[in-house]
Structure 1
């Protein structure tokens, strides 16, 4: 499609963008006062704390990155201007959404037709998770923006022989890799469409792209290797994530291991490292622990290959299913806080069948569209390599909207042209995948429950000393899943914290966990409150001193006291004692649970 025709139809983007901005603004106003935005949890909390430290000039770190660094770095730069307010990031991500709509239009118009591109943007603004990720402190919206821009520019400049252009494209890919490394699978496979479209010249373009990637990624690898004292890639999570999604007990989605005290990044990293040290009897670096878990995964897979093949099949099912599998916060938890988020008509149960039918139609010019096929397959491989998650699948949404719109537009053209073979094939794929993507199982119903959102909100409130507010969240989790053992346990601890001993005893009984022995609590609780006040005021040395004094008043402390002390040692730079108290917390958790 020529530039003149694309420019003439681009004006239709204006009302679409206006509608998107109005809906997004209403939703932000609806969510802003709620815990969904006010209380970042798990990865969002880690990003928020990390960005806050960056905004205050604390750029140096003493450990390799556990989470990818680009998003918290950009968030920290934003906080320098706005202060550490999550709502500021949400507004910026809304603006990135405009860029995503523009990129989807440009890609769809150039690869197919402007009518397909306009319809694709309409489908995208009717897709609920598009707004969900916009309202979270997660890197998903940033990644979708970078990847959409990358695909559009790769297509636009596919015939260019300018060295600088392909290096810049690699830089875009490198930025995406520093937000989450999954894009590297696509970049590794990108030689396929380049060779098909450009012949041997595709190798040069592919090499130049990887040069651009290396310019950004290699310094991070060097930095991680130096501070971690072991060869480390952009993060230390690869082996851990492979284990989470592929060990023999895995269900194919993210699950928290029983030896991990908390799903937040610091404690997850420490939990896996400490368990690896326990099993090997050696002191391990973060990179060595990651390598250990990768090795364990390989052993389990080779020991039961049939079971692993069955697991892969289950992951393919989850990848193509309508359910938005959560990692730490979920689309379904957000819908509890937003009536508007419940009103969107497009979900994966509708979008994926349309897109796969569009793939069938696009096969008439398969070589031309190979870039999109490779991109989708690369993210399928990423989910199979690690675990299936809505956040890991989200980067293909723009491409799915384009292919789904291609089906809706071209099916009528095929009827006019009487192309019966293509009509039958595409419609058959549509109805076959419609059944697959919407087939519900007990597991997919559980994934679609907001129980973990309530639980994680409650756990975060407990960590910050708000037991009264946490009780309500744990109660909501138990309404969703009355057999949720850990929610019963945490609710029991909250009841103990406010002096409701009988209620606590009932919760521990329902969890089949012994009632903890109570100690004299008046001085202990006063010290605990004071320590948390010091921490809130960023007087971490005083908080640590007070927390250690509190520990002396608590002969049989729960594991989270050690956990909080470990956190305070970590923030003050004493990683030796942080490690010591992490171990004590781990031991205490095994007893308490």
Structure 2
């Protein structure tokens, strides 16, 4: 690091306009002389109307979010924290309510004990009986549950925060001020998303030019990730926008007085209280500046000292709290080390949380120690090369188009909110555009983006490649993608066929790979999994949520009339007979079973089509003469004239 200002040009001459005279050929690639005037005029107009451009982006971002809210408000998506109780969504709600009730210090252990965690505790005791000297209590007893929780108290470092504290405390503060309603949390997360669009525009303008900033802002408005995370009770939207904010701060700090380094340190420290992997950012920035910026050694030490001081200021309240409750002073995430082995054993893969047979043994023998857990995980592979290959696959698939779900599923959200299906700027679109933006002699000027991406990748290597973990990379690449749009426009305007052909060929190769299902994530396998999960959720009394799973299963594999019938049944039970009707009609035609015809009849009754319902009830009896429920339905329809039959649409015959 260093405190010398970066004396760089701004505006149209930073990666968007013509190059310096010595780079005559590159100038021809970007724009012909006839188009340079138009580019300069566009730059000047945008510079004069920055306020209007920013206002338009804000309105567009707010409109997209309003559409999202209106589409999901009455559905099951906002209730994921209540429906899926084995999830971080659920525990953040529990944690926020706990804080809102007044336990701001959190002096005792507070963590989830999900069912898989209880199973791991039992297996760890079986592996290491010394963990329970009195023996393993009988299953289902309070003593058994108390032992399981006690073991996890130790593995999660007692009163240490289960995860970094800023997000749960923001949830708790929101609940305390406005009441325990997740929509109050979603409100400020959605506002943060609108601000994020402005930050994308601002960062692209600082690094490139006005046209790139406009393109990046439009791309940000049209990106479904991290938009969908803004309506979940997860910290990942906050992590994504914090990453973007740090990229902007890293570019801002070297341009002014030394005090900016102190503020940058405070930003680094505060971000690490959102997610501790943000501690990699100052290291990555320092390495970059050490390699690329010439400053006196004294200035470098001064800047580093101020950053460290700022980080200490931000971390100090959490450190004091840890010391006060008896937790390790610098432990801001008690679960990180304990969960590490889940992602690095021989059973692990790049996309899924796999609780392999090795995990309880490793947890019992290492007591949740970071280094020891990692070493034991490596030793679970046939050779160290197996572990190296696993992590290489993670880094490779970090650039794949598959949006791996965990706690939240973009593919389900697309069924709940059609606006997410309509937004075209997916990860597969962003990466090629960002690559074009980077393919310039001035790529070094995008160093804050490169540092942010490089510092975000270790999260995926330490854990797994999840859509929500990758969201910060997708977001921070948008300014580069905006520069790529402008660069492509310059090539087209200058009729530069060669670079366009190279970009097209490389993009086609990337999109082909990124759109091909990764191993184990083939559409057929995923369709079966979604259908199975939907059946379980429907049995648990959540038909609207189950319908999303059946819909995704059918999207992946449309030729499954049984799943079509299940989707219709779920929609019917969710009191959406009009939506259920086409699915049940198709299923009754394909299956020709009593159950399918009866469901079809119920949907017809609910939509006021009594005569057709009678015909379907008779078809059900023709298929299965002994089907009592179909006979009762037919008698009811014939006897009541249909006036009361509409109340039966919630039935789910089998």
Same fold (TM over 0.5): yes
Q: Counterpart of 2:379?
A: 299
| 2:418 is the alignment partner of 1:339 | yes
The yes-or-no answer on 1:233 pairing with 2:331 is yes
Answer yes or no: is the 8 Å Cα contact 1:330–1:453 preserved in 2. no
What do residues 21-56 of structure 1 show as CA deviations (whole Å, max 9, x unaligned)? 122112112212222212414111111111111112
The answer to whether the 8 A contact 1:323-1:447 is kept is no
SS at match of 1:248: coil
Assess if the C-alpha contact under 8 Å between 1:332 and 1:449 holds in 2: no
Check if 1:30 corresponds to 2:107.
no
CA distance in 2, matches of 1:38, 1:414: 48
2:283 is aligned, of 165, 171, 188, to: 188
Q: Matches of residues 398-409 of structure 1 in structure 2 within 5 Å? A: 398-409=475-486
Native 8 Å contact 2:281 2:452 kept in 1: yes
CA distance in 1: counterparts of 2:237 and 2:72, whole angstroms: 17
Partner of 1:70: 166
Summarize deviations over 1:394-439 as a string: whole Å, max 9, x none. 1122321111121121133246668777656655543332233222
CA RMSD of aligned residues (A): 3.5
Distance 1:349 1:170, change over 3 A: same
Q: Does 1:61 align with 2:107?
A: yes
Write the distance in 2 (CA, Å) between the matches of 1:455 and 1:58. Answer: 40
Secondary structure of 1:313 counterpart: helix
Gaps of 5+ in 2: 1-9, 13-43, 109-158, 555-654
How is 1:422-501 mapped onto 2 (pairs within 5 angstroms)? 426-445=503-522, 449=526, 468-470=540-542
Q: 1:289 to 1:399 in 2, by over 3 A?
A: closer
Greater mean alpha carbon deviation, residues 251-260 or residues 429-438 = 251-260
Which secondary structure does the structure 2 equivalent of 1:321 belong to? Answer: coil
Rate the CA distance shift 1:52–1:245 in 2: closer, same or farther, 3 A.
Answer: same
Q: Which moved more, 1:222-231 or 1:321-330?
A: 222-231
State the alpha-carbon separation in 2 of the partners of residues 254 and 174 from structure 1. 30
Shift, 1:189, TM fit: 0.8
- 3-state SS of 1:469 partner: coil
Corresponding residue of 2:487: 410
Q: Secondary structure at the match of 2:424?
A: coil
Match 1:154 to one of 222, 225, 250: 250
* Among 349, 359, 369, the residue aligned to 2:428: 349
Match of 1:396 in 2: 473
Normalised by the length of structure 1, the TM-score is: 0.68
Deviation at 1:336, TM superposition (A): 2.8
**What residue is the counterpart of 1:551 in the other structure?**
none
Match of 2:308 in 1: 210
Structure 1 residues 295 and 308, CA gap change in structure 2 (3 angstroms) = closer
> What CA deviation, in whole Å up to 9, does each residue of 1:182-241 have, x standing for no partner?
222222111133332453434532442232222223553564466465576211233244
Answer whether contact 2:160 2:327 (CA < 8 A) is retained. no
Distance 2:534 2:90 in 1: 11
**Helix, strand or coil: the match of 1:179?**
coil
When residues 226 and 253 of structure 1 are mapped into structure 2, their CA distance, relative to the original with a 3 A threshold, is farther
- Confirm or deny: 8 A CA contact 2:412 2:552 kept in the other structure: no
Contact 1:353 / 1:431 at 8 angstroms: preserved in 2? no
Give the whole-Å Cα distance in 2 for the aligned partners of 1:191 and 1:107.
20
Q: Is the 8 A contact 2:229 2:236 kept in 1?
A: yes
Residues 294 and 312 (structure 1), Cα distance of their counterparts in 2 relative to 1, 3 Å cut = closer
Q: Distance in 2 between matches of 1:427 and 1:55?
A: 54
1:366 to 443, 446, 463: 443
For residues 226 and 527 of structure 2, the distance between their equivalents in structure 1, rounded to whole angstroms, comes to 18
User: How many angstroms does 1:246 deviate by?
Assistant: 1.9
Q: Displacement of 1:253 after TM fit?
A: 2.2
SS at match of 1:61: coil
Q: Say if 1:131 and 1:366 are closer, same or farther in 2 by CA, change over 3 A.
A: closer
Q: Distance in 2 between matches of 1:437 and 1:444?
A: 13
The question of 1:52 aligning with 2:129 is answered no
Displacement after TM superposition at 1:105 (Å): 0.9
Which residue does the alignment assign to 1:329? 408
Q: Quick check: 1:13 aligned with 2:84?
A: no
Whether the 8 Å contact between 2:64 and 2:221 is mirrored in structure 1 is no
Give distance in 2, aligned partners of 1:474 and 1:258: 28
- Say which one has the larger Rg: 2
Query: What residue in structure 2 maps to residue 115 of structure 1?
Result: 211
Q: Say if 1:115 and 1:450 are closer, same or farther in 2 by CA, change over 3 A.
A: farther
Tell me how far 1:374 sits from its aligned partner: 1.9
8 Å CA contact 1:239–1:292 kept in 2: the answer is: no
Q: Compared with structure 1, are the counterparts of its residues 118 and 147 closer, same or farther at alpha carbon in structure 2 (3 Å cutoff)?
A: same
Unmatched 5+ stretches in structure 1: 261-271, 483-593
Q: Determine if contact 2:284/2:454 at 8 Å carries over to the other structure.
A: no
| Cα deviation code 1:229-265 (max 9, x no counterpart) | 55762112332443222211111123141579xxxxx
Distance 2:72 2:498 in 1: 48
Summarize the alignment of residues 527-546 of structure 1 with structure 2, pairs less than 5 Å apart.
none
Structure with greater contact order relative to length (CA < 8 Å, sep ≥ 6): 2
Measured at CA, do residues 86 and 253 of structure 1 come closer, stay the same or move farther in structure 2, by a change above 3 Å? same
Residue 137 of structure 2 corresponds to which residue in structure 1?
none
Tell which deviates more after alignment, 44-53 or 441-450. 441-450
Q: 1:176 to 1:471 in 2, by over 3 A?
A: same
Select between 388-397 and 32-41 the one with higher mean Cα deviation.
32-41
Q: 1:67 to 1:229 in 2, by over 3 A?
A: closer
Deviation at 1:356, TM superposition (A): 2.0
Distance 2:523 2:373 in 1: 27
User: Structure 1: how far apart are the matches of 2:435 and 2:409?
Assistant: 25
- Residues in 1 aligned to 2:283 and 2:527: alpha-carbon distance in whole angstroms: 36
1:319 equivalent in structure 2? 398
Please report how far the alpha carbon of residue 290 of structure 1 lies from its aligned counterpart in structure 2 after TM superposition: 4.8
SS of the aligned residue for 2:255 comes to coil
* Alpha-carbon separation, structure 2, partners of 1:30 and 1:47: 24
Taking the aligned partners of 1:402 and 1:299, their CA distance within structure 2 comes to: 42
